[in-house]
Amino acid sequence: MQVKLLDVAEFVTDRERAEEWSDQLEELIVRAGKIFPRVELERRAALCLRGLLAPVSRKNGWQLSEHGGETSPWGQQHLLDRAVWDVDGLRDFTRRYVVEGLADDGEGAGPGGCGVLVVDETGLAKRGKASAGVARQYSGALGACN
Q: What's the pLDDT at 2?
A: 44
Q: What's the pLDDT at 30?
A: 92
CA distances from 48 to 42, 77, 81, 92, 106 (A): 10, 10, 13, 19, 34
| Structural contact between residues 113 and 129, judged by C-beta atoms closer than 8 angstroms | no
What's this model's pTM, rounded to 2 decimal places?
0.65
Q: What's the pLDDT at 1?
A: 39
Lowest mean pLDDT among 15-19, 30-34, 43-47, 54-58: 15-19
pLDDT at 75 over 70: yes
First to last CA, the chain: 35
**Could you tell me the pLDDT band of residue 39, with boundaries at 50, 70 and 90?**
very high
Q: Choose between 42 and 138: higher pLDDT.
A: 42
Q: What's the pLDDT at 54?
A: 85
**Could you tell me the pLDDT band of residue 83, with boundaries at 50, 70 and 90?**
very high
Residue 138 has φ and ψ, to the nearest 5°, of -75, 140
